[in-house]
Amino acid sequence: MNASKGSSPSVPLDRAGVPATREEQWRGYLRDAAAGNTRALASLYDETCSLVYGIALRILRNEADAEEITSDVYSQVWRNASSFDGTRGSVNAWLTMLARSRSIDRLRSRARARKEETLDLAVNVPCAGETPERASWLGQQRSIVRRALETLSPEQREAIELAYFSGLTQTELAERLQQPLGTIKTRIRLGMIKLRERLQYASEAAQ
């Protein structure tokens, strides 16, 4: 175990012995954390966790998920403190990037899980009087739709899946994905155009 783990984190001082700016303090915490000082990480956590948690909560809108993302972010900070490059941005910006990246990944994972659950329910819900021939036809149609969705770009597919499987409005999508409303509208419009083309092609090929 690194001997520095039990020592207090070093806080940079200016020439007059006055504590340095907050950014310099945070950089000092990261340097000490990179050397194995757990108290430095704790100090960074105490001073910045509200920022990370706030970003996660704003994106995920779920307190439990936001708390888990916050824990994940500081675990990553502990592992990768030495990778922080102060020439590329501030500690604040780095933490913000980590929080947004992990939150969006969680959002996409949640959307995929909901989509798979919805599709499974659609496949397994019995239909009164449904014949084997109709069941076979419905299965083929679902497969065609799935393959058509896979031809879209990840951004288009994400927007369409959230809109149609989660029932979000375009304004809610823009807020959830942290994108301009015009961007979301364009993704859905272009994605639906491509979907129609793929489905029409599949229909004509089956005739």
Cα separation, 2 vs 4, in Å, equals 5
CATH code of residue 196: 1.10.10.10
Domain count, the chain: 2
DSSP assigned state of 8? P
pLDDT of residue 21: 85
Q: Which of 104, 135, 167 is the last residue of a domain?
A: 104
What is the per-residue pLDDT across 52-111, written as a single tens digit (0 to 9) for each? Answer: 999 998 888 888 888 888 988 998 899 999 999 888 889 999 999 999 998 988 888 776
What is the per-residue pLDDT across 97-153, written as a single tens digit (0 to 9) for each? Answer: 999 998 988 888 776 666 555 445 444 545 445 566 666 655 666 677 777 777 788
Check pLDDT > 80 for residue 19. no
If you count DSSP H runs as helices and E runs as strands, how many of each does the chain have, helices first? 8, 0
Claim to verify: residue 69 and residue 139 sit in the same structural domain: no
CATH code of residue 61: 1.10.1740.10
pLDDT of residue 4: 42
Q: How far is CA 50 from the centre of its chain?
A: 18
Residue 131's domain comprises 126-206
Q: What are phi and psi of 87, to 5 degrees?
A: -75, -15
Claim to verify: residue 131 and residue 79 sit in the same structural domain: no
Check pLDDT > 90 for residue 31. yes
Both ends of the chain: CA-CA distance in Å? 70
DSSP assigned state of 153? -
Residue closest to 93 by CA, chosen among 147, 31, 48, 135: 48
Q: Is residue 91 in some structural domain? A: yes
Give the CA radius of gyration of the chain.
Answer: 24
Query: For the chain, what is the mean pLDDT?
Result: 76
Q: Is residue 117 in some structural domain? A: no
Is the torsion defined by CA of 137, 143, 147, 149 positive or negative?
A: positive
Q: How far is CA 56 from the centre of its chain?
A: 9
More confident residue, 190 or 30: 30
Q: Is residue 37 in some structural domain? A: yes
More confident residue, 11 or 50: 50
